[in-house]
Structure 1
């Protein structure tokens, strides 16, 4: 048996395909780059990170954090030996990343420039024509309940027709988005969520023609379960012919976690989950039989000793990656340079060089040993949490020597470059340049910081902070080196390791 959620981690807006006996999943990542993580599994339950579909975005805007923008809900398909990942940038248009090798480099091209087109999904029909179904972003164009269809060239390089509306859910399915188009046993099916992320439901459209008319039905909802708004995902057929549906649940502070549901067909209609209350609509399962037998082989990496010649796949920057943010070669760890912010104040919410990771458990500890090789006053190396209210603990060089500094921040404008205010919450004198820093994340959705000079005896610093989500994502763990006086410096923090340990029920302890 397996239990839901299969991944308690913010892999938002998932889509999944099967190629042979291998499953591949993609997810959105917004302003965090490299973007659109690509994961692999052999049983739909145990996953490993294998790649990113987008190394950086070709706009100067993304050289700085662009919260709530960037790579939205993608879709993945395999056609004639090529993996295609359709990626919406809500402010710029629809992009396509393609590769013959899921472990190799993806090429990114613009399919169509448009503002407000989101959640695209390609489809190659039996007659050789190709299509794309997509939704609209209310925040960009004032539409949130319509699905349109366009014809595209089979090589996915351009749009060939004007959009044709195939579903208008203003009354029936408000906030309809995330469409995924399939063909099965003589019908075209579009699986889609409606009603919004927090409390919505999963729907399906069915038609004999790709342009419709489409019939509508709700096929999964929360019902009597505690899985709110079972939301968008992907349908996949296993080698044994069984049907599965992978989707997310929004748990707010930690983002959108992944569930796997059994799926079947009843009188030509999909049915997802299990009937529990007699209303004829599926509800999410807590556990079910494994899709495939065998020992699990995969897991998402979290800890890092920084001994390789490249960064681990668990890491993302808060903007386009730049080589001058860091160094690995020939060091006893990862060097993150104490950079200034040449555009505005040097706050964590504004920092493109914030080095982030998705929490993989609702309670965990993150510990690092860091040496600050400061060159100028204000040089700092820290660990923290990024969200709409955030905090970070660091070792900082002042004119009088080293201190431990706890900063807190509050976001006042959440989108794009946004605005935040920060304050120095607490300081502590410290007479060395090396310190162990620890972050404890608790099941009650709070977190706290501690420090140690020897890695054995830790002292808490500051209070417990409430965990808060970021814009369209859950909270992120992070490392960050910067010059807090926003001056030029050649200083850096050298992080020897990161140890991340999942905790059971209750509070993590020192």
Structure 2
């Protein structure tokens, strides 16, 4: 999906946008149901998971409706389970199942609350709906993002009553909050549980756990306690299907489109950048700087790829007006930015940390290299090379997480005003190193 539905997402909306989606295959096509917690539940379809996906359609409007997942039953009836966002609806421990038209065109009523037990599971969200051997199952994370646990509900009827079982928790492991994901089965009959771990400034790290079934309950991980609660594993043999594919990080900007590792900070416009104007380079066109740069929509970012790493980029600034600027950015609670700025007569190297700005060098050439080294724990050391050798910025800065997301890093290009004609910045590469 190119952009998030609704016009307000042309602005950065911390903590908003698309929350937990569900993807399913039914009637010869792929379906994604997803929520935006302030607008409601959307659905989009495609013939192939790589797209093209249809324009998202608002299936059910409602503030606080989150984390939908469909189920098409054996008799052709369809249902949708969803949770509620405490921040919008004032409740966060209820799961509701609603009847749905089999073609996914509309919901057919309010349905029923199928589970609530705030004493046992004070937060219950992210439900996934499936059926196996006559049992209806709802898999749902409980207890909150950082330190929660995974719950399985099961019933012989779609509206319950459902019995519950905790199937995965941290225990004595280092994997906190091993929950919020989905059970999946392979063509060879293997079962796995895909989930995340909240790692603060490193974002949400994906894990894959082995699953076996016993007495029609899934047992997750390789060790269970006396109550059948599994413990997550850090390493395990991979599923028998599929090859190992390493996600892309570095970019030489020699392809006709941006790689999937890149994310804009808000809904973007195609005229923010070009990969065709100067082959082998990405051209960034500056956008007006927000008063609060934490809300700068045209930050082009990607997730931290490892606990410790370095990244280097080379860029050239071609300004038309004083105040045009481009550089390297690390986001979180507030952005940290190392860039080149034109002041009307010469180019400056500028370091921004929070609301502070520091001029590190002046009268440099329009071509400059920037680097940031991130230590385990997120301490960032910046450097720049205006003429060859890198010059270290004296004081490292601590990266911090954002709202419901980890810290990210990438590129930016700014100007002082939206009405001013502007130049551009050309980026040669963006390379990660150990």
TM-score higher than 0.5: yes
Query: Is 2:341 the partner of 1:396?
Result: yes
Write the distance in 2 (CA, Å) between the matches of 1:312 and 1:405.
Answer: 28
CA contact (8 A) 2:182 2:195 kept: yes
Q: What residue number does 1:178 align with?
A: 126
How many residues align? The count is 432
Write the mapping of 1:376-455 to structure 2, written as runs, cut at 5 A.
376-409=321-354, 422-454=355-387
Q: What residue number does 2:47 align with?
A: 100
Superposition misfits of 4+ residues, deviation over 6 angstroms: none
CA contact (8 A) 2:348 2:359 kept: no
Q: Helix, strand or coil: the match of 1:240?
A: coil
CA contact (8 A) 1:326 1:336 kept: yes
Which has the higher relative contact order, 1 or 2, with Cα contacts under 8 A spaced 6 or more apart?
A: 1
> CA deviation digits over 1:408-460, x for unaligned, max 9?
12xxxxxxxxxxxx2213432242000001111111321121111355x2111
TM-superposed CA distance for 1:57, in Å, is 2.4
Write the mapping of 1:130-169 to structure 2, written as runs, cut at 5 A.
130-169=78-117
Q: Which moves more between the two structures, 234-243 or 296-305?
A: 296-305
Write the distance in 2 (CA, Å) between the matches of 1:169 and 1:491.
Answer: 58
Write the distance in 1 (CA, Å) between the matches of 2:406 and 2:419.
Answer: 31
TM-superposed CA distance for 1:60, in Å, is 1.8
Query: Is 2:403 the partner of 1:458?
Result: no
Write the distance in 2 (CA, Å) between the matches of 1:56 and 1:485.
Answer: 24
CA contact (8 A) 1:235 1:243 kept: yes
CA contact (8 A) 1:483 1:489 kept: no
Query: Is 2:2 the partner of 1:70?
Result: no
Q: What residue number does 2:429 align with?
A: 497
TM-superposed CA distance for 1:67, in Å, is 1.0
Write the mapping of 1:350-365 to structure 2, written as runs, cut at 5 A.
350-365=295-310
CA 1:462–1:72: 2 relative to 1, 3 Å: farther
CA 1:476–1:140: 2 relative to 1, 3 Å: same
Write the distance in 2 (CA, Å) between the matches of 1:271 and 1:76.
Answer: 23
Write the distance in 1 (CA, Å) between the matches of 2:265 and 2:235.
Answer: 35
CA 1:406–1:462: 2 relative to 1, 3 Å: farther
Write the mapping of 1:31-70 to structure 2, written as runs, cut at 5 A.
54-70=1-17
Residue segments in structure 2 that go unaligned for 5+ positions in a row = none
Q: What residue number does 2:411 align with?
A: 479
CA 1:339–1:489: 2 relative to 1, 3 Å: farther
Q: What residue number does 1:26 align with?
A: none
Write the distance in 1 (CA, Å) between the matches of 2:221 and 2:430.
Answer: 39
Q: Helix, strand or coil: the match of 2:288?
A: coil
Q: Which moves more between the two structures, 386-395 or 309-318?
A: 309-318
Task: Return the TM-score normalized by structure 2.
Answer: 0.96
CA contact (8 A) 2:251 2:429 kept: yes
Write the distance in 2 (CA, Å) between the matches of 1:352 and 1:444.
Answer: 27
Q: CA RMSD in A?
A: 1.6
CA contact (8 A) 1:356 1:478 kept: yes
Write the distance in 2 (CA, Å) between the matches of 1:462 and 1:246.
Answer: 42
Query: Is 2:253 the partner of 1:280?
Result: no
Q: What residue number does 1:40 align with?
A: none
Q: Which moves more between the two structures, 477-486 or 142-151?
A: 477-486
Q: Helix, strand or coil: the match of 2:171?
A: coil
TM-superposed CA distance for 1:478, in Å, is 1.8
Residue segments in structure 1 that go unaligned for 5+ positions in a row = 1-53, 410-421, 504-510
